[in-house]
């Protein structure tokens, strides 16, 4: 079972989000806790200060036992500071000499005050002294709702900071995507394209991150090296192909005239004979042999003989169809495959044209006019012979009868008149 692999971008984003949220949450929690503890200390100090302030202001009224003045002083300060309640007890008495209670507030405000009472130390006492003797005691209860609202403002500010930090983390994540993930994805896509499509000319773009840029440069160098080696291999392959084609050509062609050789000619004959079976068409072979080639070589040299052979090949090829084949069998011997033909008359017509064309003197740039002629033998399959192997022998026998009868002419094979041919094929 193949394990599902997480993309790099998702892995980095997940890690970044986890790290960012953890850091933001920890920072927000710590900041909130510090703010709460600081506010709690401030509340405690503030309530104690209010109690001392009332004690100092109500000292005279307490000494002279003036409840009205004490109440007036205490109410003024308590209302200004937003206290829930306050009272002054004179001497060691149990009943308060003066008291203050805030008017009943709305349900929401009362709920906030109740919650604030649970979170903050809102009660404080202070002694009223006169001539270093305690003459009374002040007890106050602060309004927790005020401090709770302040704490909520702090929490909102912390949340805003956390949101800003989260936004910055998101920006960093996008920057990582642009600087790291996108170049890596581009490099991976480039690698895949180079591998599947053999697009070795592609190159990685420069990257911001040094390591990724170095990786891209190394990859570009590797692609360039592979491209260079592949070009060398292609060049070597083309050279080998050319050499093989040249060797193959030389194996089946004559190097002087460029015509097919004996082996190639026999293959053409076999294919043509096989194609004619079951059809009305026939195939014919013209066997062509020079009448005075040896004397040309003896008088003028082999270079002159080569000129005669080349011109002989050109003249024969000019008289044939595209489907016909002319080959040099060796020395001054040529053979022509006529396929397909309708009857032996087609073969004799071409043989007459070949014999007439070869009777014309050869004009050599090096040796001038060279008298030359050739005798042509004709054999047809099926008709003259029963097998393809006998066809070339029959045409050869007919050529010898033409050469014996009249050099420079043609002769069509006839076993009844050619005992030598019969003996050769026996």
Residues belonging to the active site? 332
Instruction: Name the CA radius of gyration of the chain, rounded.
Output: 60
Q: Find out whether 396 and 362 touch, Cβ atoms under 8 Å.
A: no
Q: How far apart are CA 233 and CA 419, in angstroms?
A: 61
Are the C-beta atoms of residues 220 and 204 closer than 8 Å to each other? yes
The token pair at 290 is 């020079």
Three-class secondary structure assignment of 297-353:
HHHHCHHHHHHHHHHHHHHHHHCCCCCCEEEEEECCEEEEEEEEECCHHHHHHHHHH
Residue 294 structure tokens: 């040896």
Q: Cα separation of 177 and 253, whole Å? A: 67
Q: Say how far apart CA 253 and CA 255 lie, in whole Å.
A: 6
Q: Which residues of 167-178 are buried (b: 16+ CB within 10 A; e: fewer)?
A: eebeeebeebbe
Q: DSSP label at 177?
A: I
| Contact between residue 284 and residue 346 where contact means Cβ atoms under 8 Å apart | yes
User: What Å distances lie between residue 261 and 251, 305, 311, CA to CA?
Assistant: 8, 18, 17
Distances (CA, A) of 260 to 11, 380, 389: 70, 21, 18
Picking from 284, 307, 311, 290, the residue whose alpha carbon sits closest to that of residue 372 is 290
* Residue 241 CB partners (closer than 8 Å, separation 6+): none
User: CB within 8 A of 145, min separation 6: which ones?
Assistant: 105, 109, 110, 112, 113, 115, 116
Place of tokens 């506010």: 39
């Amino acid at each position: 079972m193949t394990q599902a692999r997480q993309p790099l971008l998702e892995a980095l984003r997940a890690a970044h989000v986890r790290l960012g949220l953890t850091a933001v949450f920890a920072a927000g929690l710590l900041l909130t806790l510090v703010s709460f503890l600081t506010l709690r200390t401030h509340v405690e100090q503030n309530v104690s200060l209010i109690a001392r302030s009332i004690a100092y202001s109500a000292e005279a009224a307490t000494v002279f036992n003036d409840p009205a003045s004490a109440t007036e002083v205490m109410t003024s300060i308590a209302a200004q500071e937003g206290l829930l309640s306050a009272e002054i007890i004179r001497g060691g008495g149990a009943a308060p000499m003066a008291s203050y209670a805030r008017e009943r507030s709305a349900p929401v405000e009362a709920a906030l005050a109740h919650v604030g009472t649970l979170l903050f130390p809102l009660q404080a006492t202070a002694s009223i002294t006169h001539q270093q003797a305690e003459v009374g005691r002040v007890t106050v209860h602060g309004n927790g709702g005020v401090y709770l609202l302040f704490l909520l403002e702090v929490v909102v500010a912390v949340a805003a900071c956390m949101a800003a930090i989260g936004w910055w983390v998101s920006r960093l994540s996008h920057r990582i995507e642009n600087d790291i993930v996108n170049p890596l994805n581009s490099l991976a896509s480039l690698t895949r394209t180079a591998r599947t499509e053999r697009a070795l000319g592609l190159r990685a773009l420069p990257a911001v991150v040094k390591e990724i840029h170095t990786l891209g440069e190394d990859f570009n160098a590797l692609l360039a090296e592979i491209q260079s080696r592949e070009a060398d291999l292609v060049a070597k392959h083309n050279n080998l192909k050319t050499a093989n084609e040249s060797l193959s050509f030389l194996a089946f062609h004559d190097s002087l005239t460029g015509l097919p050789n004996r082996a190639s000619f026999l293959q053409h004959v076999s294919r043509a004979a096989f194609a004619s079976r079951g059809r009305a068409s026939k195939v014919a072979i013209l066997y062509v042999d020079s009448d005075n080639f040896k004397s040309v070589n003896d008088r003028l040299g082999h270079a002159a003989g080569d000129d005669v052979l080349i011109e002989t090949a050109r003249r024969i090829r000019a008289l044939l169809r595209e489907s016909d084949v002319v080959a040099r069998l060796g020395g001054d011997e040529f053979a022509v495959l006529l396929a397909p033909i309708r009857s032996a008359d087609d073969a004799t017509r071409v043989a007459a044209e070949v014999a007439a064309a070869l009777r014309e003197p050869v004009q050599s740039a090096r040796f001038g006019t060279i008298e030359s002629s050739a005798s042509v033998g004709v054999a047809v399959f099926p008709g003259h012979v029963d097998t393809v192997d006998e066809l070339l022998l029959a045409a050869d026998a007919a050529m010898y009868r033409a050469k014996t009868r009249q050099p420079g002419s043609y002769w069509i094979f006839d076993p009844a008149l050619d005992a030598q041919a019969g003996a050769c094929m026996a």
